[in-house]
Amino acid sequence: MTYGFLDIASTPGVRAAQAEMGADQFWEDFGGHREMDRFTESEAAFIAERDSFYMATVSETGWPYMQHRGGPVGFLKMVDDRTLAFADYRGNRQYISTGNLAANDRACLFLMDYARRARLKIYAHVEKVALDEDPSLTALVSDPDYRGRAERIFRLKLEAFDWNCPQHITPRFTEKEVAAAVRPMQERLAELERENAELKARLEPAATDAE
Protein backbone atom coordinates (compact mmCIF):
# COMPACT_ATOMS: atom_id res chain seq x y z
CA MET A 1 0.00 0.00 0.00
CA THR A 2 1.16 3.55 -0.66
CA TYR A 3 0.66 6.78 1.20
CA GLY A 4 1.02 9.06 -1.80
CA PHE A 5 2.20 12.42 -0.51
CA LEU A 6 4.35 10.96 2.24
CA ASP A 7 5.94 8.49 -0.16
CA ILE A 8 7.35 11.47 -2.03
CA ALA A 9 8.26 13.40 1.09
CA SER A 10 9.93 10.47 2.87
CA THR A 11 13.57 10.86 1.94
CA PRO A 12 16.30 8.94 3.79
CA GLY A 13 16.73 11.95 6.05
CA VAL A 14 13.02 12.07 6.82
CA ARG A 15 12.93 8.35 7.56
CA ALA A 16 15.93 8.75 9.86
CA ALA A 17 14.12 11.53 11.74
CA GLN A 18 11.02 9.33 12.04
CA ALA A 19 13.13 6.49 13.41
CA GLU A 20 14.81 8.82 15.88
CA MET A 21 11.42 9.89 17.21
CA GLY A 22 9.98 6.37 17.21
CA ALA A 23 7.45 7.16 14.46
CA ASP A 24 8.91 5.04 11.66
CA GLN A 25 6.96 1.90 12.54
CA PHE A 26 3.70 3.83 12.47
CA TRP A 27 4.14 4.75 8.80
CA GLU A 28 5.62 1.40 7.80
CA ASP A 29 2.56 -0.39 9.18
CA PHE A 30 0.02 2.08 7.83
CA GLY A 31 -2.76 -0.06 6.35
CA GLY A 32 -4.70 2.44 4.26
CA HIS A 33 -4.51 2.96 0.54
CA ARG A 34 -4.09 6.70 0.08
CA GLU A 35 -2.45 7.39 -3.25
CA MET A 36 -4.52 10.58 -3.56
CA ASP A 37 -3.38 11.23 -7.12
CA ARG A 38 -6.74 12.55 -8.31
CA PHE A 39 -8.81 15.35 -6.87
CA THR A 40 -12.31 14.53 -5.68
CA GLU A 41 -15.34 16.79 -5.25
CA SER A 42 -14.13 17.66 -1.74
CA GLU A 43 -10.83 19.05 -3.01
CA ALA A 44 -12.58 20.78 -5.92
CA ALA A 45 -14.91 22.62 -3.55
CA PHE A 46 -12.07 23.55 -1.20
CA ILE A 47 -9.85 24.87 -4.00
CA ALA A 48 -12.72 26.90 -5.51
CA GLU A 49 -13.15 28.79 -2.23
CA ARG A 50 -9.55 29.89 -1.86
CA ASP A 51 -8.30 33.41 -2.57
CA SER A 52 -4.64 32.60 -1.87
CA PHE A 53 -2.12 29.83 -1.38
CA TYR A 54 1.58 29.33 -0.66
CA MET A 55 3.90 27.80 -3.25
CA ALA A 56 7.37 26.43 -2.58
CA THR A 57 10.02 25.96 -5.26
CA VAL A 58 13.75 25.18 -5.18
CA SER A 59 16.57 27.03 -6.96
CA GLU A 60 19.55 25.56 -8.80
CA THR A 61 21.63 26.33 -5.70
CA GLY A 62 19.33 24.19 -3.55
CA TRP A 63 17.69 27.05 -1.66
CA PRO A 64 13.93 26.75 -1.16
CA TYR A 65 11.68 29.72 -1.87
CA MET A 66 8.18 30.16 -0.49
CA GLN A 67 5.84 32.59 -2.22
CA HIS A 68 2.33 33.75 -1.38
CA ARG A 69 -0.04 33.79 -4.34
CA GLY A 70 -3.32 35.69 -4.16
CA GLY A 71 -6.20 36.74 -6.35
CA PRO A 72 -9.99 36.72 -6.52
CA VAL A 73 -11.78 33.80 -4.88
CA GLY A 74 -11.37 30.73 -7.07
CA PHE A 75 -8.46 32.10 -9.12
CA LEU A 76 -6.75 28.71 -8.79
CA LYS A 77 -8.74 26.73 -11.34
CA MET A 78 -9.29 23.00 -11.62
CA VAL A 79 -8.86 22.01 -15.26
CA ASP A 80 -9.54 18.34 -14.57
CA ASP A 81 -9.10 15.94 -11.66
CA ARG A 82 -5.32 15.96 -12.08
CA THR A 83 -4.67 19.47 -13.36
CA LEU A 84 -4.77 22.95 -11.86
CA ALA A 85 -3.95 26.31 -13.44
CA PHE A 86 -3.72 29.95 -12.44
CA ALA A 87 -2.84 33.26 -14.04
CA ASP A 88 0.52 34.59 -12.88
CA TYR A 89 -0.02 38.30 -12.19
CA ARG A 90 2.73 40.88 -12.28
CA GLY A 91 4.30 41.50 -8.87
CA ASN A 92 7.67 42.89 -7.80
CA ARG A 93 9.27 41.57 -11.01
CA GLN A 94 11.88 39.43 -9.27
CA TYR A 95 10.56 36.25 -10.98
CA ILE A 96 12.12 33.95 -8.41
CA SER A 97 9.43 31.25 -8.61
CA THR A 98 9.33 31.52 -12.41
CA GLY A 99 13.08 31.07 -12.63
CA ASN A 100 13.14 28.20 -10.16
CA LEU A 101 10.41 26.35 -12.05
CA ALA A 102 12.30 26.74 -15.32
CA ALA A 103 15.15 24.75 -13.79
CA ASN A 104 13.08 22.38 -11.63
CA ASP A 105 9.38 22.00 -12.37
CA ARG A 106 8.50 20.52 -8.97
CA ALA A 107 6.51 22.58 -6.49
CA CYS A 108 4.59 22.15 -3.26
CA LEU A 109 1.42 24.13 -2.58
CA PHE A 110 -0.23 24.80 0.76
CA LEU A 111 -3.88 25.91 0.60
CA MET A 112 -5.16 27.27 3.90
CA ASP A 113 -8.65 27.73 5.29
CA TYR A 114 -7.88 29.51 8.56
CA ALA A 115 -11.52 29.98 9.51
CA ARG A 116 -12.22 26.22 9.41
CA ARG A 117 -8.65 25.28 10.42
CA ALA A 118 -8.10 23.14 7.32
CA ARG A 119 -5.11 22.86 4.98
CA LEU A 120 -4.55 21.02 1.75
CA LYS A 121 -1.01 20.31 0.57
CA ILE A 122 -0.20 19.44 -3.03
CA TYR A 123 2.85 18.11 -4.86
CA ALA A 124 2.79 19.04 -8.55
CA HIS A 125 4.87 19.51 -11.67
CA VAL A 126 4.47 23.06 -12.98
CA GLU A 127 4.52 24.15 -16.62
CA LYS A 128 4.70 27.75 -17.81
CA VAL A 129 2.17 28.55 -20.54
CA ALA A 130 2.14 31.75 -22.60
CA LEU A 131 -1.12 33.71 -22.57
CA ASP A 132 -1.56 33.26 -26.33
CA GLU A 133 -0.55 29.59 -26.36
CA ASP A 134 -3.80 28.04 -25.17
CA PRO A 135 -6.83 30.34 -25.64
CA SER A 136 -9.23 28.05 -23.78
CA LEU A 137 -6.92 27.84 -20.77
CA THR A 138 -6.39 31.60 -20.83
CA ALA A 139 -10.14 32.13 -20.86
CA LEU A 140 -10.54 29.74 -17.92
CA VAL A 141 -8.04 31.51 -15.64
CA SER A 142 -8.82 35.09 -16.73
CA ASP A 143 -10.92 37.47 -14.61
CA PRO A 144 -11.74 40.72 -16.43
CA ASP A 145 -12.87 42.30 -13.15
CA TYR A 146 -9.55 41.73 -11.41
CA ARG A 147 -7.09 44.63 -11.55
CA GLY A 148 -3.95 42.44 -11.73
CA ARG A 149 -2.01 42.14 -14.99
CA ALA A 150 -1.46 38.52 -16.04
CA GLU A 151 1.95 37.78 -17.55
CA ARG A 152 1.72 34.02 -18.00
CA ILE A 153 -0.18 30.94 -16.88
CA PHE A 154 1.11 28.18 -14.67
CA ARG A 155 -0.38 24.76 -15.31
CA LEU A 156 0.09 22.22 -12.53
CA LYS A 157 0.03 18.46 -13.00
CA LEU A 158 -0.87 16.75 -9.75
CA GLU A 159 1.56 14.22 -8.33
CA ALA A 160 -0.04 13.73 -4.89
CA PHE A 161 -1.99 15.61 -2.27
CA ASP A 162 -2.90 15.21 1.38
CA TRP A 163 -4.89 16.92 4.11
CA ASN A 164 -3.31 18.08 7.35
CA CYS A 165 -4.88 17.93 10.78
CA PRO A 166 -6.12 21.26 12.27
CA GLN A 167 -3.66 21.17 15.15
CA HIS A 168 -1.87 24.49 15.76
CA ILE A 169 -3.84 26.37 13.08
CA THR A 170 -5.00 29.63 14.64
CA PRO A 171 -8.44 30.60 13.30
CA ARG A 172 -8.33 33.80 11.24
CA PHE A 173 -11.10 35.44 9.28
CA THR A 174 -11.21 37.62 6.19
CA GLU A 175 -13.02 40.95 6.13
CA LYS A 176 -15.81 39.30 4.12
CA GLU A 177 -16.16 36.46 6.62
CA VAL A 178 -16.27 38.87 9.57
CA ALA A 179 -18.90 41.00 7.80
CA ALA A 180 -21.06 37.92 7.19
CA ALA A 181 -20.72 36.84 10.83
CA VAL A 182 -21.73 40.20 12.33
CA ARG A 183 -24.50 40.97 9.81
CA PRO A 184 -27.26 39.26 11.87
CA MET A 185 -26.24 41.28 14.92
CA GLN A 186 -26.21 44.49 12.91
CA GLU A 187 -29.65 43.73 11.49
CA ARG A 188 -30.99 42.94 14.97
CA LEU A 189 -29.48 46.15 16.36
CA ALA A 190 -31.09 48.16 13.57
CA GLU A 191 -34.43 46.49 14.33
CA LEU A 192 -34.15 47.33 18.04
CA GLU A 193 -33.22 50.92 17.25
CA ARG A 194 -36.34 51.22 15.06
CA GLU A 195 -38.50 49.76 17.81
CA ASN A 196 -36.94 52.12 20.34
CA ALA A 197 -37.58 55.11 18.07
CA GLU A 198 -41.23 54.07 17.63
CA LEU A 199 -41.76 53.69 21.37
CA LYS A 200 -40.11 57.04 22.02
CA ALA A 201 -42.40 58.68 19.45
CA ARG A 202 -45.46 57.19 21.15
CA LEU A 203 -44.40 58.24 24.63
CA GLU A 204 -43.48 61.82 23.79
CA PRO A 205 -47.14 63.01 23.17
CA ALA A 206 -48.24 61.36 26.42
CA ALA A 207 -45.49 63.15 28.30
CA THR A 208 -46.52 66.49 26.75
CA ASP A 209 -50.19 65.98 27.73
CA ALA A 210 -49.20 65.19 31.30
CA GLU A 211 -47.42 68.51 31.60
Provide the whole-model pTM: 0.81
Kindly give the parts of the chain with pLDDT less than 70. Answer: 1-3, 29-35, 206-211
Do residue 102 and residue 180 come from a single domain?
A: no
Write down the pLDDT at residue 9: 86
Q: pLDDT tens, 47-93?
A: 999 999 999 999 999 999 999 999 999 999 999 999 999 999 988 88
The residue segments making up the domain with residue 207 are: 173-211
- CATH number, domain containing residue 138: 2.30.110.10
Do residue 133 and residue 211 come from a single domain?
A: no
Do residue 24 and residue 62 come from a single domain?
A: no
Question: Do the bridges between strand 64-70 and strand 106-113 make them parallel or antiparallel, or are there none, so unpaired?
Answer: unpaired
Do residue 54 and residue 134 come from a single domain?
A: yes
**Number of domains the chain is built from:** 3
Do residue 95 and residue 144 come from a single domain?
A: yes
Write down the pLDDT at residue 35: 62
Q: pLDDT tens, 187-201?
A: 999 999 998 998 888
Write down the pLDDT at residue 209: 63
Instruction: Decide if 171 contacts 14 (C-beta within 8 A).
Output: no
Burial letters 129-164, b for 16+ CB under 10 A, else e: bebeeeeebbeebeeeeeeeebbbbbbbebbbbbee
DSSP letter, residue 146: -
Do residue 43 and residue 88 come from a single domain?
A: yes
Do residue 3 and residue 30 come from a single domain?
A: yes
